[in-house]
Chain A
Amino acid sequence: MGAEKKYKQEQYVTEELDYVKVIESKSFKKLMHDRKKFTIPLTIFFLVFYFMLPILTSYTTFLNTPAIGDISWVWLFALAQFVMTWVLCTIYVKKAAGFDKQADQIIKEMEQGGDGR
């Protein structure tokens, strides 16, 4: 991987990098913005989806109505938790590949300009 070679070379660069300049650079700010836009809504979503289950089972009974034969809605909701986990994992991997590219670009800029501009 090209990026890895870069990391290794960087170990031998002794001068201190100005990290404050890096975090203020356009490309880094864009990475942070994209990350936040992706991570925060989905984290809120999966936590809400998760807590819906104990909240609904504790305070209501409508999940106890049958859905398919003797399988009630509560089991389907529980199964949906598993499906959600796997779907979010898959989405995360796809999205993270894009972040990786952005991060590689930032490291490249840091090495060239020293400040990620």
Chain B
Amino acid sequence: MSPTVIILFLAIVLLTLVITFFAARKTQTAGDFYTAGGGLTGTQNGLAIAGDYLSAASFLGIAGAIALFGFDGFFYSIGFLIAYLVVLFLVAEPLRNLGKYTLADMINSRFDARKVRGAAALNTITISTFYMIAQLVGAGALIQLLFGIDYWLAVLIVGVMMTTYVLFGGMIATSWVQIVKAVLLMAGMVIMAFLVLLKFNFNIGQMFTEVKSVTTHGAAYLMPGLQYTEPLGTLSLMLALVLGTAGLPHILMRFFTVKDARTARKSVITATWIIGLFYILTLFLGFGAAAFVGYETIIAANPGGNMAAPLLAQAIGGDLLFAFISAVAFATILAVVAGLVLAGASAFAHDLYGQIIKKGKASESEQVKAARYASLAVSVLSIVLALFAQYLNVAFLVSLAFCIAASANLPVILYTVYWKRFNTAGAVTAMLTGLLSALILVSLSPSVFSPIEGAALFVGEPIFPLANPALVSVPLGFLGGYVGTILSKESNLKRYAEVKVKANTGYKSSGANH
């Protein structure tokens, strides 16, 4: 480990701790803790959404996938971006208008049923846990590689940092850590892409021509089909990517940090520009790594290609850029896991404890206390799980989280806002069918069963053919909600009218209290 790496690493830690210190003094109410008091501007929240979303999987994973598989690696970039059109067109504004702290608040604006809230909390906890384990396992492996320390120590460092931000600084600290990370990450990406382009004389055509000859794949490198050969498998993955984002609790929660739907809209627009630019730049990083680092070196450092971006930094910018990009990767991980802890904690403390057990009668100080205990519990639990999950495939865990989000959360969100007949029974069946079908199909899929020993958790023929079951489980989630609704006689037009008016006009939305 070079001194530059250590200095930059410590600078990031120090900067985030200073943010947490100031945020802690401002965090007094449950609203401060969960939503930063709803006081973020559109631009701030847009940056924070980008910071929350662009995980190490995006930064390191996609750059690596493009370096190794060419066009097929780029599929992820496209899916992850278009997902924001679903968020913008269908989800963001009604969500902001109807919700207060959590997704369950939004769904319950129509139902006031404890079982609906319970099911929504269960979904949030399940999705956030899978996502969190993926991030922590990835973080552990990465920091282990970058700094040469043991896996368990790496997970523990990240775990302690994320717990500190959330426990003391709540959403205010988390948001600012995410904003700082988004700025650092984009700076790192732009510098690297610039240096790569410089090497190709700013000629994109020349870049394509050169990468065609440097990899072992030859011309096939620039064509789809190196990684995804099963048409239905590809479509299923693309479906999970495009619909999953609009159901991810830690992303949805960010929309409660602004005062109204108009600001929520502005945050999605800002986020979409940043995220789009980011994913365009992943292409230059991936091609750059293929050309200047080389396939063998990337694979030797990490079979999944995760070291492609740091190795490229070393190759084109020397030790200083390597140190900077490593520090940025560290900041990236911290910002994402902090957002995940907060989403999980809100489901435990606000939905399960505050609303179901205490029936919404917990005092302000009880709520803040519960939120802090829950954050601590979620952190400890996920650190322990991550220590055991070291050898699980990270991409599998992330795609599973996206698949559950698309199958279990998106149907109920859309039905709540747009379907008049929808009722309590339908809400429960939509969430549970989506959740269970995604979980069951994954556990029967090639991600869990493989005839080749060591390729998956168990040895054996997979019963279900798709590694990512979204193509089946998303329709099942919608179907579950439909069948549950029509089998129950309950229908409340008055309540639907209220939700419809509030969702579309922002009348009496919770943000107006601030």
Contacts and interface: CB of A to CB of B under 8 A. Distances in A.
A53 B78 contact: yes
B231 interface: yes
A71 B222 CA distance: 8
B478 to A, nearest CB: 14
Interface string B484-514: 0000000001100110110011111100110
B265 interface: yes
B55 interface: no
Contacts of B86: 43
Contacts of A22: 497, 501
B222 A75 contact: yes
Interface string B257-291: 00010100100110011001001100000000000
Nearest to A56: B224
A70 B279 contact: no
B78 A35 contact: no
Interface in B367-406: none
B84 interface: yes
Interface string A72-112: 10110010011001101100110010001001101100100
Interface in B194-250: 204-205, 208-209, 212, 222-225, 228, 231, 234-235, 238, 242
A54 B75 contact: yes
A70 to B, nearest CB: 4
A22 B505 CA distance: 11
Interface residues of chain B: helix, strand, loop or mixed (majority): helix
B356 interface: no
A110 B222 contact: no
Nearest to B239: A51
A43 B273 CA distance: 19
Given A4-B512, A89-B269, A70 B205 contact: yes
Nearest to B495: A19
Contacts of A59: 231
A58 B235 contact: yes
Contacts of B504: 28, 31-32, 35, 103
Interface in B52-95: 71, 74-75, 78-79, 81-82, 84-86, 88-90, 93
Nearest to A59: B231
Contact of A20 (B79, B93, B272, B493): B493
Contacts of A10: 507-508, 512
A71 B79 CA distance: 21
B79 to A, nearest CB: 8
Given A20-B493, A54-B234, A72-B223, A110 B513 contact: no
Contacts of B500: 19, 23, 32
A82 B276 contact: yes
A58 B238 CA distance: 12
A74 B507 contact: no
Interface residues of chain A: helix, strand, loop or mixed (majority): helix
A43 B90 contact: yes
B235 A51 contact: yes
Given A7-B507, A103-B506, A70 B209 contact: yes
Nearest to A57: B224
Interface string A44-72: 00110011011101110001100011111
A8 interface: yes
A48 to B, nearest CB: 11
8 contacts: A23-B500, A32-B504, A43-B85, A54-B235, A57-B71, A70-B208, A86-B276, A107-B506
Q: What 4 A-B pairs have minimum CB-CB distances, sorted nearest first?
A: A58-B231, A19-B497, A57-B224, A7-B512
Interface of B: 71, 74-75, 78-79, 81-82, 84-86, 88-90, 93, 204-205, 208-209, 212, 222-225, 228, 231, 234-235, 238, 242, 260, 262, 265, 268-269, 272-273, 276, 279-280, 493-494, 497-498, 500-501, 504-509, 512-513
Interface of A: 4, 7-8, 10-11, 19-20, 22-23, 28, 31-32, 35, 39, 42-43, 46-47, 50-51, 53-55, 57-59, 63-64, 68-72, 74-75, 78, 81-82, 85-86, 88-89, 92-93, 96, 100, 103-104, 106-107, 110
Given A20-B493, A82-B279, A86-B272, 20 more contacts: A4-B512, A10-B508, A19-B497, A19-B500, A28-B501, A43-B90, A46-B85, A53-B78, A54-B75, A54-B231, A55-B235, A57-B234, A58-B224, A63-B224, A64-B223, A72-B222, A75-B71, A78-B78, A82-B276, A110-B507
